[in-house]
Amino acid sequence: MAEKYWETIKVQFCDHVGCEVSLDGEFVYPAEFLPDQPARLVSQRCSRGLDCNQWNNMTCVWAGTNPTHDPFSQK
Ligand code: SF4
């Protein structure tokens, strides 16, 4: 049976909240009888995305309020 896990992909300082936040991914690992299959990334989220979604101002794509700004794409 396949298994799903949330894992941290990247940790980065976010100017909007003034602290480090993580980009998390939901990975699906194949069943044991398919050992050569790589894990598949099926979903992503920011660790503070729900909090930022409650703000009145636009934040970023992970909060769902500004599709043109992705803080995790910056170096
Ligand atoms: S949802 Fe966007 S603005 Fe909020 S902490 Fe995450 S990256 Fe920063």
How many degrees, rounded to 5, is the angle at CA 63 between CA 59 and CA 66? 50
Mean pLDDT of 65-70: 93
Is 23 a pocket residue for ligand 1 (Cβ < 6 Å)?
A: no
Question: Which atom of ligand 1 has the smallest separation from the CA of 61?
Answer: 2
Sketch the domain layout of the chain as residue ranges.
Answer: 3-62
pTM here is 0.86
Q: Are 11 and 21 contacting, i.e. CB atoms less than 8 angstroms apart?
A: yes
Q: What is the mean pLDDT of the chain?
A: 92
The Å distance, Cα 57 to ligand 1 centre, comes to 12
What confidence tens digit (pLDDT) does each residue in 37-55 have?
889 999 999 999 999 999 8
Q: Which of 8, 12, 13, 16 to mutate to test the pocket of ligand 1 (most atoms within 8 A of CB)?
A: 16
- What residue type is assigned to position 62 of the chain? W
